[in-house]
Structure 1
């Protein structure tokens, strides 16, 4: 009886310490992936940019690297890997001149029609473009100015938060800062005035339970926000390394600095693509985390769309 009492007391103390420290027994860490499809260079478009994951298909932009004047969009079946170069239904052909850098995009359904909202990163002209798509054809459907404190502002990330009968609300990202913005549901033009929501912790964030010494020098990419679970995924890249940090319990009302999760992280350090392994965008579909990449080795570019192995949100 005394032994049992001591054991119970010891277990209670350990559980109490775990509750106080908030440290899990083992961090969930994902560092392998499966290729779904290549997204080869086409026309002058060589740089992978924005990404969005739909219920059946994955969408990936490629643009004219360092020029940002021409883009294409690939549609990939997330299960079979079937790849189609989408058609520009407004002007014909497969290229368009509307998307600028096209760094990130998000899917929004309006009146039972599918749309992609794409951030252009343009200092002038529209900072946000809306495309309506049906099957493998897309059409220009809207252009918008984005403003912060009255000045033109070019965010590099976007994700839908909610859609009501009158309004679409978004989270936008620039660097490590998240902003709130909204549009009337059916507006094809207009101005989006952003307000700051919160910052994202990067330095000191744990990847597989340990900090990455040079994480502050990684480039930031797009974002994905799981509104139902209030979880934000944030890819960062440097050379042949890509990391996805995760932020829980964040929403448009969050302020201050959101801490990165200590018990969940993703990283690919690629020896196969030693010159470049750059995750550009991520998205959740049926609980799985999909992403697109710029990849390169001594044989050339090997860009594609992929899925992390083992993770279910």
Structure 2
């Protein structure tokens, strides 16, 4: 559904379709990182203690779901990803890789996995630093890949940072530089300011490097908002304003205790996302979904 709001002609999306549910497994109850590939959508589901996680793959059209196999340990879970809060996909030498931020305050802040079909393998890990100190970044997205270098955007809270790695490095340190801050207070959702938006929780993010558009999900209780920022790049500085003519919000009556969009991603122009969802009874139904009607232009 596309609804008009203020200002005139503002595009607003507030309905969605569920493609698949993501069941709890081995104590992994919290949906976290998300990435959208050309055909499949990937979600991390982690234990509250961040000691174990699983990765689900969902077909973006059919909704067919598979719990991916850990080919390194020959199990269906892993112990490497910490909170597993965000994912970006990078192809290196014709092989698919996931880079996943852990939100660990010590040890590794970024883990690299290689995957083939429904099996993934541990490749390496990295420390992420800002001004010499470890930074537990919560979001990541690929910006560019050359014959020598992968360039990323990272996010912590509302701040975007730049960082890079040698193309084939499987360990090392990523030194961050601050790029810009995302406007949240005063941002328009369906043409109006959300009064308590500053108290929403920051989640992952998605950056469309071809169109220089960033999608930023924020959540509180049974409300989730996605703000959009146009014309942003690694060279952007200062505060990036949220778009006034495009916004997304779900206020869920079906899941009044919790409707948290954890991560978002574009594939074929559609905006996909994953959620933690909880009913008033305490029953959960975490899932992978797509916003109805939206096609990125």
* TM-score, with structure 2 as normaliser: 0.97
Q: Paired residue for 2:80, among 66, 73, 98?
A: 98
Displacement of 1:69 after TM fit?
Answer: 0.4
Q: Paired residue for 2:36, among 53, 60, 65?
A: 53
Q: Paired residue for 1:196, among 178, 197, 203?
A: 178
Unaligned runs of 5+ in 2: 1-5
Match of 1:284 in 2: 266
Cα distance between partner residues in 2 of 1:299 and 1:154: 30
Structure 2 matches for 1:1-313, cutoff 5 A? 25-65=8-48, 67-297=49-279, 298=281, 300-313=283-296
* Preserved contact between residue 45 and residue 55 of structure 2 (Cα < 8 Å): yes
Say which SS state the counterpart of residue 198 (structure 2) adopts: helix
Cα distance between partner residues in 2 of 1:158 and 1:142: 16
Say which SS state the counterpart of residue 300 (structure 1) adopts: coil
* TM-score, with structure 1 as normaliser: 0.92
Deviations 1:241-269 (A, max 9, x none): 00000000000000000000000000000
Deviations 1:33-86 (A, max 9, x none): 000000010111000000000000000000002x00000000000001100000
Cα distance between partner residues in 2 of 1:198 and 1:268: 27
Give the number of the structure whose residues are more often helix, by fraction: 1
Displacement of 1:142 after TM fit?
Answer: 1.2
Aligned residue-pair number: 290
Root-mean-square deviation (Å): 0.8
Cα distance between partner residues in 1 of 2:215 and 2:8: 22
Which structure would you say has the larger Rg?
1
Displacement of 1:25 after TM fit?
Answer: 2.7
Displacement of 1:24 after TM fit?
Answer: 5.6
Deviations 1:187-216 (A, max 9, x none): 000000000000000000000000000000
Cα distance between partner residues in 1 of 2:38 and 2:145: 17
Unaligned runs of 5+ in 1: 1-22
